[in-house]
């Protein structure tokens, strides 16, 4: 029979390993919850941007061609399937840049009744999307880093949670709306 001190050290080692595995599993669970919250925030900001773009497209303050391009892109972004969402959102970003490539367009929209509020709301929506996407992708990066550890893979600490995927899209803001933001900050 092994000495009592050896048994005690084995038990202490097993408890330490169990505590470490439990802590790591809890950390991974918190990271997955953070990803879910960040994805919900990103979805809300993308929906807000598409909604504001659609409202602006139907307000009659843009020329007809710009209204059609903006409306169709915003509608496609709002109704895209999950596997096509990144492409549709990128196309909305491109449409916004095409419509607001000239600061004069934003000035014309601002002169219309309610135009100042519409441009301000669109500017905020366009500014918040990259921030929400960055938060989401940072959470994904952190979870991936933990999931790459051997211990997490060997003991399957991630459970059945899907592997986190970053949201990659073109979120470059239109120059005219970027200039608006700088002008309102002064």
pLDDT digits (tens, 9 = 90+) for 135-146: 999 999 999 999
Report long-range pairs for 158-163 (Cβ below 8 Å, ≥24 apart).
Answer: 158/28, 158/32, 161/28, 161/32
| Total of domains in the chain | 1
Domain interval for residue 92: 4-185
Average pLDDT over residues 65-74: 96
pLDDT digits (tens, 9 = 90+) for 79-127: 999 999 999 999 999 999 999 988 888 888 999 888 899 999 999 999 9
**CA–CA distance, 5 with 27 (Å, rounded to integer):** 33
Q: pLDDT grade, residue 175 (50/70/90)?
A: confident
pLDDT digits (tens, 9 = 90+) for 27-52: 999 999 999 999 999 999 999 999 99
């Amino acid at each position: 029979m092994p000495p009592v001190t050896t048994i005690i050290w084995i038990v202490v080692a097993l408890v330490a390993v169990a505590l470490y595995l439990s802590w790591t599993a809890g950390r991974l669970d918190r990271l997955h919850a953070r990803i879910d919250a960040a994805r919900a925030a990103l979805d809300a900001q993308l929906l807000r941007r598409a909604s504001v773009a659609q409202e602006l497209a139907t307000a009659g303050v843009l020329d007809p061609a710009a209204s059609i391009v903006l409306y169709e892109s915003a509608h496609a972004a709002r109704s895209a399937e999950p596997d096509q969402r990144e492409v549709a959102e990128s196309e909305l970003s491109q449409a916004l840049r095409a419509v607001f490539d000239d600061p004069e367009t934003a000035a014309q929209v601002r002169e219309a009744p309610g135009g100042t509020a519409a441009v301000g709301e669109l500017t905020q929506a366009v500014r918040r999307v990259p921030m929400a996407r960055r938060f989401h992708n940072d959470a994904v990066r952190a979870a991936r880093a933990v999931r790459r550890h051997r211990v997490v893979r060997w003991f399957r600490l991630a459970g059945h949670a899907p592997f986190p995927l970053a949201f990659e899209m073109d979120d470059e803001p239109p120059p005219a709306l970027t200039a608006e933001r700088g002008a309102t900050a002064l």
